[in-house]
Amino acid sequence: RERAAGADAVTGSLRDEEAGTTTEFPELMRPLREPRESRRVRVISGSVPEALHGGVFMRNGPDQRHAPLFPEGRHWFDGDGMIHWCHLSAGDGAQSYGCSYVETQGFKEEREKGGEALYCGIKQSPILDLVLHGMWSKVRNFPTPDRPWWVIQTKNTANNGLLVTGKGTLLATYEAGSPYEIRFERSGGGGADSSKLRLVTEGVYTPTQRDAPVHPILGAYNHYLHNFTAHAKVCPRTNEVIFLSYDLIGQRFSVGVLDSDDSLVSMETFEFPFAEGEACMMHDFAITEGKVVLMAHPLLFDKEQSMGGGVPFTYDMSAPSFFGILDRRRGGSDGLGTEAEVSWIEADNCYCFHSMACWEEGETVHLYAHRLDVTGALGMATFRRDGNEERPRVEEKARLHKWTLQTAGRGEARGKVVESREVGAERIYSDFPEINPEYTGRPVRYGYSLRISERKSAGDGVPLFDRVMKMNLEDETVEASWESEGKVMDDMTFVPDPNRQEEDGGWLLFFSHQLEASKSFLEILDASTLTLQCTVELPRIPLGFHATFVPVEVVKTMIG
């Protein structure tokens, strides 16, 4: 049963769930452990919109290829990156689906050992052999190891995000390492048979550098020092890519800029704003047309805890959060300039994994993001308050929040938060936001997100999403929603319709999964009404992370 609903249905459904109990569905995370060659799949409802023909919808996620070294300490995030894709065409039976591992350095090392796991997961181990192997891997892969010097016992799994750069380069990203360049090619047969596509790993991505490199061999983007976190932003006006890199041991972070030709035009380094200089996980950020807006929350790296065999982070419940404002054009017309400075604005304690929208209005910045009161980072963190260990009851359930930030004016040391409040009266738990990408950094009216189920989870604290929602940010109401009984869904991507000029003119694409059966689906919704346009039936796909759409023009440059 599929249905699109208005705000009343959303609120009523939430009230029904508040008295319910939580049912776990761990089968949804069970890995495949094997890639799948491209095969034909069928449309079972509606049809693929013509403007999407020839493009590819893709989603990344963890799929542990080999048995973990320490099963008792395993974490879902540890899985090797596996990308599932659908190549879209006209006709009910002309779609194709496949999945491939991102063949990272660690993945290939373990394959060479006959499938023996050589790395820890989120939880570290003080075993000397693992430390020595990790160090040897960095020497062996000189000058481009796929993770910085401070990541030794874990491998780069490239399992988190996907990015199409302004030039059309396709990247698989990982929070604590460098991205991998991937591309499609035909596996044989020739012609226009879409079933012959396959996804291949080109190798560790190294951006070209327009000017003389900082280091004669390692360059301004130094694979031993830098990572390229999961949520880089593409500016629709300039086609630049802005990305973050952070050093948990050195307690510094960098902001990098690739121009529209994928050349690295700046890489500027800054200090974290916390009182003791601690490094934090900066998973996401935002951009406006003229600024980078950083989110530094007190999910802090705990070196002693990690090296002692524990999880890597501690959430400090007594520390403030900070928003950082960085001018994108300071010092020159390209990149950030060598005199770039971050203006930090102190805010209440909280955590945001994902930002939805951001824009500037004079000296004011409006930021929408999904706010958690506290987070255990899905099992990756302990807790402390005023230096003492805490054991709070934590639910990883965020709500959409708005901050209005007043940037520092002339003669002022720093800016301030002038507004901080939850968006909408429904008090809906949600995350995995999306907007029309052509409006990134500009004022938006519509934001999309996935509702977090209050009665279902995947186990191990992993939430499930059971409804797509369209939020009108002007009147702060849920304008439309879509759900399908017995299904949950993954991250979605907005694909603009070239024939419609409205902000909500386009489609939302995402994978959905049946709770009680071994089936998954590609769903295509009209973004203006959230009505179902097409459903493609797929074999079972494990839950995953972030998604993207590769336009037909980019696909053609890859496959010819």
- Calculate the alpha carbon distances from 305 to 76, 117, 309, 425 in Å: 20, 23, 7, 40
Environment class of 275 (CB within 10 Å of its CB; exposed 0-12, middle 13-18, buried 19+)? exposed
Could you give the CA distance from residue 228 to residue 267 in angstroms, rounded to a whole number? 11
Q: Which of 406, 490, 434, 468 is nearest to 9 (CA)?
A: 468
Q: Are strands 208-209 and 263-271 parallel, antiparallel or unpaired?
A: parallel
Tokens 């020159």 belong to: 332
Q: Are strands 487-489 and 493-496 parallel, antiparallel or unpaired?
A: unpaired
> Has 53 been labeled as part of a binding site?
no
> Has 231 been labeled as part of a binding site?
yes
Strand boundaries in 60-112, DSSP class E: 82-87, 95-101
Environment class of 82 (CB within 10 Å of its CB; exposed 0-12, middle 13-18, buried 19+)? buried
Maximum alpha-carbon separation in the chain = 68
Could you give the CA distance from residue 507 to residue 494 in angstroms, rounded to a whole number? 6
- Calculate the alpha carbon distances from 17 to 10, 21, 262, 452 in Å: 11, 8, 47, 11
Helices and strands counted in the chain (H then E): 5, 38
Collapsed DSSP state (helix, strand, coil) of residue 433: strand
Name the DSSP letter for residue 443.
Answer: -
> Has 283 been labeled as part of a binding site?
yes
> Please, how many CA atoms are within 13 Å of residue 250, restricted to the half-sphere of its CB?
17
In sequence order, what are the beta bridge partners of 57?
86, 549
Could you tell me if 544 and 538 are in contact, meaning their C-beta atoms sit under 8 angstroms apart? Answer: no
Q: Which of 146, 180, 189 is nearest to 40 (CA)?
A: 189
Question: Helices in 65-222 by DSSP H: which ranges?
Answer: 105-112, 128-140
Could you give the CA distance from residue 447 to residue 435 in angstroms, rounded to a whole number? 5
Q: Are strands 321-327 and 342-347 parallel, antiparallel or unpaired?
A: antiparallel
- Calculate the alpha carbon distances from 428 to 13, 393, 491, 494, 546 in Å: 10, 19, 17, 21, 21
- Angle among Cα 302, 304, 310 to the nearest 5 degrees reads 80
Tell me the Cα Rg of the chain: 22
> Has 370 been labeled as part of a binding site?
no
Binding residues for Fe cation: 231, 283, 354, 546
Binding residues: 231, 283, 354, 546
